[in-house]
Amino acid sequence: MAKRVLVSGGAGYIGSHVTVELINAGYEVVVADNLSNCDMTCFEGVKKITGRDDIPFYQVDCCDPDAVAGLFAENEIDAVIHFAAFKAVGESVAEPIMYYRNNLVSFLNILEESRKQGGCNVLFSSSATVYGEAEVLPVTEQTPRLPATSPYGNTKQMCEDILRDSVAAYKGVKGIALRYFNPIGAHPSALIGELPRGVPNNLVPFITQTAIGKRECLSIFGNDYPTEDGTCLRDYIDVVDLAKAHVAAVARMLDGKMKEDYEIFNVGTGRPVSVSELVNAFEKVNELKLNYKYVDRRPGDVMAIWADTTRANEELGWKAERSVEDTLASAWAWEKHLAGK
């Protein structure tokens, strides 16, 4: 019998790509999403891509303990991938209570139900933000976490710790935290992708919206950093590659391959790319000119971060494969798809 994975936040950007790859790999998937930061566009896209019209979808809020209990009561769940969370750094600074309540309570409810089942495999969607401005690059999983600079980042650290402690305390609960670097791009079908609400905070949606004419001009935040071209360095990971890392991690848990009951993996490419390089690559691969200007640094930005991916490569048997050019072409194809072009 196929194993069943509950994907909380499964209608969102990363959750929808993960749902596709899980189904491609032969898993059954149950999607739960309260649609607070997305609509059904991506879930409909998932159904088209997979040709599966029968994927169970629950419009529930994981902050509601009864709703989460219902998900487990109605479905035999072998593993959970928990995405359901707020993720805007700036908003978290303005609304910390909302962020702590949403991101912590939903995860606590998932863990509580997993424990009640007599155990479950829980994969938590964490972030490279936990490393802050690391002194030594690239960062490994052993690189010390630094104090979070936003409530959002703090919820990622706190949820990692809650998972670690729960695994230690409750027999049968196993956990993996995946620390994502900068997920970008879209599915090659252009049927699913990122759907930012309002003005995008992240670089690639801002680029694609500028290219399509929704935004006038991209502001590049700072060109006076002590990097080769003066702009920040990040590790941009293709969202389909990222999704495949989840499949590898779920298989590791379900096939009894974990070396410890709580494990952490960096999910990146291991390749630093500057903002200017990314913009140039976008222009080149999509054969267009982008309107951009250099402005002051954005407060809170780290100068550089990229992953040492040795652990994920060796232990998960996973490696990022798509080139930055192909990823940027997919981001542009998705933006055009949204515009009906």
Task: Give the shortest CB-102-to-ligand WQD separation in angstroms.
Answer: 14
- Decide: is 301 part of the binding site for ligand WQD (CB under 6 A): yes
Instruction: Quote the tokens at residue 318.
Output: 């996973």
Q: Which stretch binds ligand WQD (CB under 6 A): 23-31, 34-42, 168-176, 213-221?
A: 213-221
Burial (0-12, 13-18, 19+ Cβ within 10 Å), 255: exposed
Cα(221)–Cα(225) distance, integer angstroms = 10
271 binds ligand WQD (CB under 6 A): no
Task: Find the binder of ligand WQD among 41, 50, 189, 219 (CB under 6 A).
Answer: 219
Query: Does 202 help bind ligand WQD (rule: CB under 6 A)?
Result: yes
Question: Does residue 158 sit in helix, strand or coil?
Answer: helix
Q: Which residues share a beta bridge with 182?
A: 236
> Considering only residues 27, 72, 206, 332, which one is a binding residue for ligand WQD as defined by CB under 6 A?
206
Residues 6+ apart with CB under 8 A from 51: none
**Nearest to 297, CA basis, from 201, 221, 232:** 221
Q: Which of 17, 105, 116, 120 is nearest to 61 (CA)?
A: 105
Both tokens assigned to 176: 């993996």
Task: Choose, by CB under 6 A, the member of 49, 81, 84, 232 that binds ligand WQD.
Answer: 232
13 as an active site residue: the answer is no
- The Cα–Cα gap between 106 and 63 comes to 4
149 binds ligand WQD (CB under 6 A): no
Stretch near ligand WQD under the rule CB under 6 A, chosen from 35-43, 67-75, 218-226, 254-262: 218-226
- Interface pick for ligand WQD out of 182, 209, 276, 286 (rule CB under 6 A): 182
Question: Which residue is catalytic, options 131, 152, 180, 225?
Answer: 152
- Residue 283 interacting with ligand WQD (CB under 6 A): no
Q: CA 55 to CA 311: how far, in whole Å?
A: 33
The answer to whether the CB of 32 falls within 8 A of the CB of 8 is yes
Nearer to ligand WQD, 121 or 143 (CB): 143
- DSSP, collapsed to helix, strand or coil, labels residue 249 as helix
Count of CB atoms situated within 10 Å of the CB of 94: 10
234 is an interface residue for ligand WQD by CB under 6 A: yes
Report which residue's Cβ sits closest to ligand WQD. 232
User: Among 25, 40, 67, 89, which residue interacts with ligand WQD (rule: CB under 6 A)?
Assistant: 89
CB atoms within 10 A of CB 191: 19
- Say if CB 302 and CB 231 are below 8 A apart: no
* 3-class secondary structure, 65: helix
| Cβ nearer to ligand WQD, comparing 114 with 208 | 208
Among 57, 115, 119, 221, which residue sits at the site for ligand WQD (rule: CB under 6 A)? 221
**114, 125, 129, 276: residue in contact with ligand WQD (rule CB under 6 A):** 129
Least gap, CB of 222 to ligand WQD (angstroms): 7
Closer to ligand WQD by CB, 114 or 223: give it. 223
- Which amino acid makes up residue 111? L
127 forms part of the interface with ligand WQD (CB under 6 A): yes
Catalytic residue ranges: 152
Binding site for ligand WQD (CB under 6 A): 87, 89, 127, 129, 182, 201-203, 206, 218-221, 232, 234, 275, 298, 301
